[in-house]
Amino acid sequence: MKNVFQHIKGDKTIWAVVSLLALFSFLPVYSSSSSLAYLYGDGNTLKFLLKHFAHLVLGFVILFGVHKVPYHYFKGLSVIALPIVLILLVVTMTQGTTIEGANASRWIRIPFVGFTFQSSTLASVVLFTYVARYLARIKDKTVTFKETLLPLWLPIFMVLALILPANFSTAAIIFSMISILVFIGGYPIKYLLIILFAGVLFLSLFVVSAKAFPSLFPNRVDTWMSRIDNFTNGEETEADYQIDKAKAAIASGGITGLGPGKSIQKNFLPQSSSDFIYAIIVEEFGLVGSLFLMSLYMLLLFRFVIVAHKAKTIFGKLLVIGVGLPIVFVALVNMAVAVEIFPVTGQTLPLISSGGSSIWMTCMAIGMVLSVSAKREVIKTENQEENPLDILSEAI
């Protein structure tokens, strides 16, 4: 065991929080998968638990492998991966995979393997890394808006345009996180305001086009448009049924919850093991469990900020913010949906919800953060070996 820990580098608190979230996820996933087992299978819930276990194992393999890569390598890898991601998004949009009888045009089926993969999750990690790389290059340089259009904003809008028709919530989150990232990266505010206006204008034109020519766009467009309309107008829809069941689960949880595996609403709540798993957690573990879970994500955010602050390079700082902040933001969005603060988005709870794509890409992002913190540990160790008195005086 000691030899294993010797190979684990980076922020130990992040490792502990991620491991704790992964271990905790088995309880709600196993509990909420019972309805899926009886609805789509033979009643065997063990296979859903084993599937989730396999996803987590592969996720931690990805995390471990990525955190061993020196983080400055991600600069070049993002440039190489970006065109590959664009091709995957095009294939995903045209493929239109069907999962359990429902349209799922946000997934791509991998040939010869037999599993599906949500390409937008990979696209977001690659895009955040690419943007961090570009911002680090122009840091402290005077750039014009025209100079940044092709190298920075064209890839961003290409990725968003390919994600938007099938997955509005993911496109909106990516755009929001990139806006925050470029603001923190020192991009001129006047140029950013132009981009924000252009983004709103593009979205408006897209909505008008979808209304005028509905046959030209996937049926997911009608889904997310109706969700927003119904959320603002208060109309009763299928999404309201999900929210009502989620709120019923939260109300049943009380302070301490009904206990692990004793959820009632999991038998009625669609997507209880993924999109609405937070409601099941509150029902089974109560307010205490839900606040504990939220505190873990807040601790994760705090450690991301610490790692970013202590990073020795601009790229390292922006990389941690770019790939780390969306993890916590998506978690908060998932929780907000369960209590009807946000309309239904389809966003999972990172490291908790079932689903391979979300787990793998979350682990990849966390591996990048750990790579940045691991590099700082190496520099700190070298400094201690070279000049221990200076380090001691600095600590005092």
- For the beta carbon of residue 309, count every other beta carbon within 10 angstroms: 9
Q: Which residues pair with 117 in a beta bridge?
A: 108
Report domain extents, the chain: 20-381
Of 352, 272, 368, whose CA–CA distance to 75 is shortest? 368
Q: How far apart are CA 97 and CA 99, in angstroms?
A: 7
Name the pTM for this structure: 0.87
| Percent of the chain whose predicted confidence (pLDDT) is above 70 | 79
- Looking at the predicted structure, is the pLDDT value of residue 105 above 60? no
CB 347 within 8 Å of CB 170: yes
What pLDDT is recorded for position 316?
95
- Mean pLDDT calculated for residue range 239-256: 83
- Looking at the predicted structure, is the pLDDT value of residue 192 above 60? yes
Q: Which residues pair with 108 in a beta bridge?
A: 117
- Mean pLDDT calculated for residue range 281-300: 94
